[in-house]
Amino acid sequence: MNKPLILKAHRIGIDTYKQAVIFVRNDCEICRAEGFELHSQVNITLNNDSLRATLNIVIPSLLPEKSVGLSEFAWQKLKAKEGDNIQLSRLIPPISLSGYFYQE
């Protein structure tokens, strides 16, 4: 992803215990264009705080356009406020170590 995706924070009040979950509308064209799918692991950032979150997809009536819902855990960790700009980006995949241990 060249440019981070920015959407507005929306508090939806879902308790996911200690798991950061982000909810996006199933009609979010930008999310689909970026290849975000159900249960993708993404990085969410607000100001200087960021955390890894699981992406869930919801019907459009649950969220305003151009917004993302945050689980209560994510909302509190990021100290979010309604309408804050949330940056959404792919996680950087881990470097594979398989080449270091297997040689023919």
pLDDT digits (tens, 9 = 90+) for 21-33: 999 988 887 676 6
Q: For residue range 36-57, what is the model confidence (pLDDT) as tens digits?
A: 767 788 889 999 899 999 999 8
Is domain 5-92 annotated with CATH 2.40.50.140?
Answer: no
Matching residue, tokens 């970026």: 34
pLDDT of residue 100: 53
- Which of these, 67, 49, 65, lies nearest to 9 by C-alpha position? 67
What gap in Å lies between CA 73 and CA 70, rounded to an integer?
A: 8
**Measured on CA atoms in the order 22, 45, 52, 77, is the torsion positive or negative?**
negative
What gap in Å lies between CA 65 and CA 25, rounded to an integer?
A: 8
pLDDT of residue 1: 44
Q: For residue range 2-15, what is the model confidence (pLDDT) as tens digits?
A: 566 889 999 999 99
Q: For residue range 85-96, what is the model confidence (pLDDT) as tens digits?
A: 999 887 766 555
Average pLDDT over residues 53-71: 92
Q: Are strands 5-11 and 67-70 parallel, antiparallel or unpaired?
A: parallel
pLDDT of residue 33: 66
